[in-house]
Amino acid sequence: MGFVRDIFGKDTPAPPPAPDFRGMAVAQGAANIDAARLSGKLANPSYDTPIGSRRVSFGYGGDPDQIFITDALSPAGRTAFDQANRISSQLGGMAESSLSRVGAGMTTPFDMSQVRARTQVPVAAPIDMSQVRARAQVPVAAPIDMSQVRSRGQVPLPIANFALPTSGSVRGRGTLPTVTPLDMSQVRARGQVPIATEAGRDAVQNAIMARVQPMLDRQRTLTQNNLLVQGHNPGSAAWNAVQDDLMRAENDARLAAVAAGGQEQSRLYGLQQAGFGMAEQARQRDLQEQVEAQQRLFGFGQAGYEMAEQARQRDLAAQAEEQQRLFGFGQAGFGMAEQARQRDIQEQTEAQQRAFALQQAGFGMQGQGRAQDIQEQAYLRSLPLSELNQLRTGLAPTMPQFQQYQGVPVQAAPIMQGGIAGAQYDLGTYGAQMGLQEAREKGLYNLAGAVIGAKPWTWSDRRLKSNIVRIGTLTPHGIGVYEYDIQGRHEIGVMADEVLKVRPSAVTHDPNGYMMVNYGAL
């Protein structure tokens, strides 16, 4: 941020000091304890009532948070409490004297002679199918009468003596139209493909060398004699230089012969290829004529086959319509018979349900009467035990209860909330100051982007940077702008991994695998 101070001459607003949450928590705890002690005193006063009095002492046993409560009955309260004890004692004696009657009742079994007998559970009788009409036979579509359908015609093959069948002829079932093979006897044979051989080239080359080689040999002999006359012996520099020139001249002559042989061979091959092409064109014309003649004949045969097939399809359609009409009549009759049968079954089912409902109602009434008899016998058997329990629990002595005082709880002072509110206010003020500072630094970020953009690709891999501090955001992409140290320099820029998420085209990798950013693309 020192660069910002150099540009604008202003310091970045200092953040507010961190709130002392520990101190506020300690103060809040102490306030809570004081409020709890005060609430305890207000909620536990000493008082007097018609049945007695209550005295509350604080600081019992030397502990300021312990209380001691003393309740004392008045003369009227004591009299009522003693009376309740006497009544409870007398009821207990009566219950003890009735234990023998309870034991005798528990050993006496139920008198089942006073309980109505269990009736038989009603069972629904099966439906009387003799009153239901028998199921009609399901109509079945009869097969098509193929004797009324013209048979499929024989498909004629494309031959020279083909003729369409007459309308009155009977067509037998045949195979689908097929194409007969071409008459290759009317097609000229394929010519031999010309092939360039090395023998022709070598013949031309040898003929040229046979004419040139004697001249080269004479030139070599004459040159060597001249060198000897001039005093240049074999192995001398002049001798070797002349020998080298002679060797080059001989090689040049041989290369010229090779080139001439290749040219002659190309000329002959071109003539052969032209003749082969003309023969192949004539052969293709023969093939085309045979194919066209075959297609014409096949078209005639296919047209006749289609006419016969259309007539056969009309016969099939007429037979299918008649079959559907007859099947519709049969299906309608079956439906009417089935509906009548379902009505019979429904009537029998309803009659059965009515009879079963009457039986079930009678069984339910008998079962209720039997349950009432059993309940009455159980009541008579447990009556002595119920009376004993009532005597035993009839009146238990209870201590008179004093009316509780409804105190008002005391709320502790909101020390913690006040401290947090103050810290939030400080943070809000700091945020407003930072907003103004960011508005001033916006021009700085644009300037830094223009400067950095001068380089096509810049290393921006997070692994190469240290002391990274975020100082802003690059709009409109939302990419963070950072200060950091890289390769011994302090720079401002972006992180390549963040750019890769929103603008992959602006990121590449160097040969070592580190990411680089094209700032101009941002």
Predicted model pTM: 0.26
Burial (CB < 10 A; 0-12, 13-18, 19+), residue 474, is buried
Strands 458-459 and 465-474: unpaired
pLDDT at 132 over 90: no
Q: Compute the radius of gyration of the chain from its Cα atoms.
A: 63
Angle between helices 237-392 and 75-97 (to 10 degrees): 90
Averaging pLDDT over each range in 113-122, 136-145, 182-191, 240-249, which range is the top one? 240-249
pLDDT band for 171, please (50, 70, 90 cuts): very low
Q: How far is CA 90 from CA 81, 86, 95, in A?
A: 15, 6, 9
For the stretch 284-293, contacts whose Cβ atoms lie closer than 8 Å and that sit 24 or more positions apart, written own/partner, are 286/186, 286/187, 286/188, 287/182, 287/187, 289/186, 290/182, 290/183, 290/184, 290/186, 290/187, 291/182
pLDDT > 90 in the chain, percent: 8
User: Comparing C-alpha atoms, which of 408, 398, 404 is closest to residue 69?
Assistant: 404
Amino acid at 427: L
Q: pLDDT tens digits, residue range 399-449? A: 666 656 555 566 777 877 777 777 777 777 777 777 666 655 654 555 455
pLDDT band for 56, please (50, 70, 90 cuts): confident
- pLDDT at position 442: 58
Amino acid at 10: K
Q: Taking all residues of the chain, what is their mean pLDDT, rounded to a whole number?
A: 77
Q: Which residues 6+ apart lie within 8 Å of 292 measured at CB?
A: none
User: Comparing C-alpha atoms, which of 115, 92, 266 is closest to residue 196?
Assistant: 266
Of residues 123 and 214, more confidently modeled = 214
Nearest-angstrom CA–CA distance, 282 and 300: 28
C-alpha 115 chain-centroid distance: 70
Averaging pLDDT over each range in 114-118, 156-160, 181-185, 224-228, which range is the top one? 224-228
pLDDT band for 193, please (50, 70, 90 cuts): low
Nearest-angstrom CA–CA distance, 158 and 293: 9
Contact (CB, 8 A) for 404 and 43: no
C-alpha 146 chain-centroid distance: 57
482 strand-pairing partners: 470, 493
- pLDDT at position 1: 44
Q: pLDDT tens digits, residue range 454-479? A: 467 888 999 999 999 999 887 777 88
pLDDT band for 115, please (50, 70, 90 cuts): confident
User: Comparing C-alpha atoms, which of 393, 395, 404 is closest to residue 81?
Assistant: 395
pLDDT at 3 over 50: no
Nearest-angstrom CA–CA distance, 34 and 46: 21
Nearest-angstrom CA–CA distance, 264 and 481: 77
Backbone phi and psi for residue 7, each to the nearest 5 degrees, phi listed first: -80, -50
User: Comparing C-alpha atoms, which of 513, 510, 504 is closest to residue 521?
Assistant: 504
Nearest-angstrom CA–CA distance, 513 and 264: 60
Of residues 130 and 456, more confidently modeled = 130
User: Comparing C-alpha atoms, which of 391, 350, 327 is closest to residue 138?
Assistant: 327
